[in-house]
Amino acid sequence: MKKILCKTYDDMSRQAAQLIIDQIHAKPDSVLGLATGSSPIGMYQALIEAYKAGTVDFSKAKSFNLDEYYPIAPDNDQSYHYFMQEHLFRHINLSESHIPDGTAADVDRECTAYDKMIAEAGGIDLQVLGIGPNGHIGFNEPDDALFAGTHKTGLTQKTIQANARFFASIDDVPKMAITMGMGNILKAKKIVLLITGKNKTEVAEAIFNGKITCDLPASFLQLHPDTTVLIDENIYQ
């Protein structure tokens, strides 16, 4: 894994955006894997600025998001559908964007269909990730075993607590999600992991320590041939 220390959140965001812009310039019909949460917001802002300045065109590109809460309606302002519309999709010109359906009645079918759509799109060229303080990527939470494909999962108490900041009360945080699995993520040709937030100092060290364990899902990124980890240095202060 290539580790890049960035002076500020803004610096991290701009470097991440540049990696996406380079990807689109090299392959205009790229398939992007996208994340929600605090970590990529600045990167999305930088991509919107670049699009508005005319330096990047997403018209041939597609995106697949990592995850969505379950159950949740797309117009709920805490849904990841809503988040992506607000922070990226309504500002740029992606040809297609996909997010797991938090209202699916048949979740297994939704998960199989999502994996099929990714495969039919040719797989993910560049996957953006954030990381939970417990080492989750997507909503692949620490567990005895991890899933390869898209699946429904329970959220750990630590993740519910970490995400409570976006909700009026911790009781409002959904307890389940639909997420891409570890196989979906590791099959991406390139991965860009963003690490920011003072509660990530320990996990940012642990993923580089050479051990791979289901207790720390992000440690599997050590097996991936082209992962860049951009770290906001403020996590160490």
- Near ligand F6R by CB under 6 A: residue from 33, 100, 135, 138: 138
- Near ligand F6R by CB under 6 A: residue from 33, 37, 142, 181: 37
d(CA 126, CA 97) in angstroms, rounded, equals 14
Nearer of residues 54 and 184 to ligand F6R, judged by Cβ: 184
Does the protein bind ligand F6R through residue 132 (CB under 6 A)?
yes
Looking at the DSSP bridge assignments, the partners of residue 152 are 178
- Near ligand F6R by CB under 6 A: residue from 16, 20, 104, 137: 137
Cα–Cα distance list, 84 to 34, 151, 160, 196 (Å): 9, 20, 20, 19
**What number of chain residues touch ligand F6R (CB under 6 A)?**
15
- Distance in Å, CB of 109 to ligand F6R, minimum: 22
Nearer of residues 104 and 185 to ligand F6R, judged by Cβ: 185
Query: Can you say whether the dihedral through the CA atoms of 112, 19, 191, 236 is positive or negative?
Result: negative
Nearer of residues 68 and 125 to ligand F6R, judged by Cβ: 68
Element (H, E) at 201: helix 201-206
Does the protein bind ligand F6R through residue 235 (CB under 6 A)?
no
Residue ranges of the alpha helices (H) in 6-148? Answer: 9-26, 41-52, 80-87, 107-120
DSSP code, position 155: P
**Angle, CA of 160, 10 and 1, to the nearest 5°:** 70
d(CA 126, CA 18) in angstroms, rounded, equals 12
- Distance in Å, CB of 83 to ligand F6R, minimum: 8
Does the protein bind ligand F6R through residue 100 (CB under 6 A)?
no
Does the protein bind ligand F6R through residue 42 (CB under 6 A)?
no
- Distance in Å, CB of 128 to ligand F6R, minimum: 9
**Where along the sequence are the contacts to ligand F6R (CB under 6 A)?**
35-39, 66-67, 130-132, 136-139, 197
User: Which positions are catalytic?
Assistant: 67, 134, 136, 141
